[in-house]
Amino acid sequence: MKIKRTLWDIFLWMIGSAVFSVSVNMFSAPNNIVQGGLTGIATVINYLVPSLPIGTAIFIMNIPLFLLAWKYLKGGFLVRTVCATAVFTAFIDLGSFVIMPYKGDTLLGCIFCGVLSGIGLALVFMTGATTGGTDIIAMLLRKKNPRFSMGRVILFIDFAIVLLSFAVYGEIESIMYAIIVIFLSSKVIDTVLYGSDHSKIVFIITEQGEDIISAIFREIGRGATVLPVKGGYTQKEKELILCAAKKMQIRNILRLISQKDPKAFTVVCDAGEVLGEGFR
């Protein structure tokens, strides 16, 4: 089973790396478009020192991060990340010899760069690995201070890279294109990993749990989980209903809740991923 999983991971690394290589060698590097993370820094370095390939620069910058991570992060995750990064960077450098650069409309190249980079990275993330760089930096900082937000750390680093691109290329458009690429890439990653139809979770605190659950099941076709709870202020015994549903079903669920118990307290949250009957 482990061999099968390893072969599948390697296959995804290769496909993802090939797609990402196209985003770098066809669209990003030839048009001075900077992506996020170490890829963006490596693209700038390659612009200043053309003899240093982008993939090689990425791997070199990752080496001290791998050494730091070896002490603080889980071994399995780190091994997968090192292997994925090696495949990833090799494909970027090999791609530079066979992929023809696109020199047409820069905005069009920017859009394709963001979409392809998002697809490539998502395929790598599916294996439980990353391509190193800012992900490892964010994890190490969070390990030292759990209050650190990984998202904010990565966003701050990407912002610094965008400013670096402006300092090197000397064009305000470089910042604008970089923002588009980073935004599109993040959206495509979420879409590939979680699907375009993000689900919702509805939390309902009510005294009419049986009626609400029956109505949701009968009219919406959704099940629910019930937990006993107690009101913090009233100290009354109530029920907490947890129901996962598609986005388009939320309006009808809220309508049913209002009909069965106008006093119900309802919270609707985004669900990154829902697995089970009726979902992917």
What tens-digit pLDDT sequence spans the chain (280 residues)?
578 878 888 888 889 889 999 999 999 888 888 888 888 888 888 889 989 999 899 999 988 888 877 877 666 677 888 888 888 899 999 988 888 999 888 899 999 999 998 898 888 888 777 777 777 777 777 666 666 655 566 777 788 888 888 888 888 888 888 889 888 888 888 777 766 666 789 999 998 888 999 888 887 878 888 999 988 777 888 999 999 888 778 888 888 898 899 889 999 888 767 766 666 5
Q: What token pair was written down for 220?
A: 């919406």
Q: How far apart are CA 220 and CA 203, in angstroms?
A: 16
Terminal alpha carbon distance of the chain = 23
User: Which structural domains are found in the chain, ordered by start?
Assistant: 2-194 (no CATH), 199-271 (3.30.70.120)
Q: How far apart are CA 274 and CA 107, in angstroms?
A: 35
pLDDT at residue 13, rounded to an integer: 85
Which pTM value belongs to this model? 0.72
pLDDT at residue 82, rounded to an integer: 84
Q: How far apart are CA 30 and CA 25, in angstroms?
A: 7
pLDDT at residue 150, rounded to an integer: 58
Q: Check the CA dihedral 132-135-138-142 and report its sign.
A: negative
The torsion of the CA quartet 170, 114, 17, 148, rounded to 10 degrees, works out to 80
